[in-house]
Chains A and B, each alone.
Chain A
Amino acid sequence: MNVTEQRLPIIELGSLDELWFQVAGTRCNLTCSHCFISCSPHNDSFGFLSFAEVERRLLEAVEWGVKEFYFTGGEPFLNPELVAILERTLDFGPATVLTNGTVLKPEWLDRLRAAEQGSLYSLEFRVSIDGPTPELNDPIRGPRTFERALHGVELLVQFGFLPIITMARVWDESQDAEILGRFRAVLHLHGYDRPRLKVLPRLLLGAEAKRTCGYSASDRVTAEMLVGYDTTQLVCQHSRVITDRGIAVCPILIDSPDAILGHTLHDATRGFAVTHGACATCYQYGAICTNPSSRSPDAHVRTIDRT
């Protein structure tokens, strides 16, 4: 091993706790201007996963003692097999689906309500809405998407779900408390009387890199920065992602060629060099992809020196 390799900030897979499925590939009915993998109705970089492929991976995951399963895209509900996939997943463990909430149908939610009630495990919906008003959300996610997503939230609540409203922080961090307060008030007005909210940092990749700016060369994790750091805060320490092009290290970096680690879980357990700008965001905020019930950010997450 030469000196350069020794200094790479390698994160080993410590425990395969979460398995993600890029179940709708990069296909989405929306074209959000901050999407870190540039999903759209026309982006076929990654394709849908079939029921058979997901089931095969769920069986593989049993052997690994995987704790939870996450489904993302694109928009997962564009995959015509998604409801059946979620029903089957709930035989194996808890499932979380990340949706934009604009294409939900009552008949799907009826089936999913029954599936969750018949399972030991939770089915979580994370609905992406980027702010408490159309004025904040729609310029990013598209015309009328605020109204359509809130209709999706109303439907979920009618069917007894408690969706986690997930927002990318497209405002200054100092405004978090005010924005969250306004969001709770709006959701109350729409019949959601105990809203659950999750704020995510922006990831300066894909469309977002064009909308604002990409990562600078100083936005990097170094081997020295990992000394004394709780690496369980990093998604790649405890997760992998099934895509139709192989198994990726995390849901954020699937567009990066080095992020595809192999085609079996065994191949994909090798360590990963966290050398991307987005790795610095993950390092800084911690636990950005998992649900609050599963993994909380360490109280002492590090700040990045952006000088």
Chain B
Amino acid sequence: MRLAFFGGIYNNHLALATAIADARSRGVDAMWCLGDLGAFGPHPDRTCELIRENNISVVQGNYDHSIGHGLNDCHCGYTDPRDNHFAQLSYDYTLAHTSDDHRAWMRSLPAQQRLEINGLRLLLCHGSPRRTNEFLWESTTNTQFLARLCDDFECDVILGTHTGLHWTRSSDTGSGVFFRPPSPIHQVKLNDGGLKKTPDPFAFINVGVLGRPENDGTTNVWYTLLRTGNDVRGGRSPLPWEVEFVPLAYDHEQLAREMQDERLPDEFIETILTGWWTTCLEVLPSKERTRGRW
């Protein structure tokens, strides 16, 4: 099987349309979106229409939950007043420009989705399986913790988004210190009790986002292809799946023009045109923050 996973769209309907065409050209069997359809960009309804017209299944993100229920803010999980200021601007814009029909549809979206494909148990979520708006950053999430999540939620692969940065870690590529016993606190949940001497392979995949570039000075955005079964192309990975992060160029200058026409903040437009984040930076851990310009 070949599956395409799109992370936060953030109203970037131009990137979404390009991603759908790109994924189709690669012969994917299905497309999924892991939530946060709104925020940041222009014309929220255009994103919703594209998602629904193309039968893309969606997991509800914190943004979709908030917009769907008409809450006061996005519950993105920011801590800094400046971050919250900009988050509120895009939230108010998105709420005001999302139709009632799309909002009702957002309310109906599932918070998680489980898939069983080629014997693999996939868990699709937005932030983490235990909290929709939990940030799982590459540099602050260790391999043992990911193993525990897979044990606790009885799955082999967890897919999420929310942070805006794609990354993956598996039992094959983790840190030098690793083994995968059932953690004592949850041992009671397991039937076999003792330590597993031959750990089952597992992975966490942050699929990236289509909504804005990745704070690396390039204007492209990212989505993720997952291959399983006979579609695994082989090579070095001994894992029964294969992850490919796809950089996607789209008409970002047209997006910037639309954002200007909608009077969205100059700071957001700068990010689209330069590839550097200018807002919502204070939640980044040091490694991720150091890689950016601001």
Contact = CB atoms under 8 A, between A and B. Distances in A.
A293 B184 CA distance: 27
A63 B181 contact: yes
Given A67-B145, A299-B75, A161 B286 contact: yes
A293 B284 contact: yes
Chain B binding site: helix, strand, loop or mixed by DSSP? loop
A180 B149 CA distance: 37
Give the interface centre of A266, A269, A291 by most chain B CB atoms within 10 Å: A291
Nearest to B131: A232
A91 B141 CA distance: 12
A296 B176 contact: no
B279 interface: no
A92 B175 contact: yes
Contacts of B294: 194
Contacts of B140: 67-68, 94, 121-122, 291, 293-294
A70 to B, nearest CB: 12
B233 interface: no
A139 interface: no
B282 A91 contact: no
Given A62-B178, A91-B176, A91-B177, A293 B285 contact: yes
Nearest to A119: B175
Interface string B133-160: 1010111111011011101000000000
B184 A266 contact: yes
B282 A292 contact: yes
B274 to A, nearest CB: 16
B108 interface: no
A167 interface: no
Contacts, number: 119
B183 interface: yes
A291 B147 CA distance: 22
A299 B176 CA distance: 37
A120 to B, nearest CB: 5
B181 A196 contact: no
Given A91-B175, A177-B81, A162 B148 contact: no
Describe A's contact surface by its main secondary structure: loop
A124 B286 contact: yes
Nearest to B148: A65
Given A65-B144, A92-B175, A162 B137 contact: no
Given A63-B181, A64-B184, A292 B283 contact: yes
Contacts of B141: 67, 94
Interface in B45-90: 73, 75, 77-81
B32 interface: no
Given A16-B185, A120-B175, A122-B139, A94 B285 contact: yes
Given A177-B81, A269-B185, A291-B285, A121 B139 contact: yes
Contact of A13 (B75, B185, B289): B185
A91 B142 CA distance: 10
Given A67-B141, A68-B140, A162-B290, A124 B285 contact: yes
Contacts of B282: 196, 292
9 contacts: A16-B183, A67-B144, A67-B145, A91-B176, A92-B142, A266-B184, A292-B80, A293-B140, A296-B79
Closest 5 CB pairs of A and B: A65-B148, A93-B142, A67-B145, A122-B139, A296-B77
Interface of A: 13, 15-17, 58, 61-68, 91-94, 116, 119-124, 160-162, 176-177, 180, 194, 196-197, 232, 265-266, 269, 291-294, 296-297, 299
Interface of B: 73, 75, 77-81, 130-131, 133, 135, 137-142, 144-145, 147-149, 151, 169, 174-179, 181, 183-185, 281-290, 294
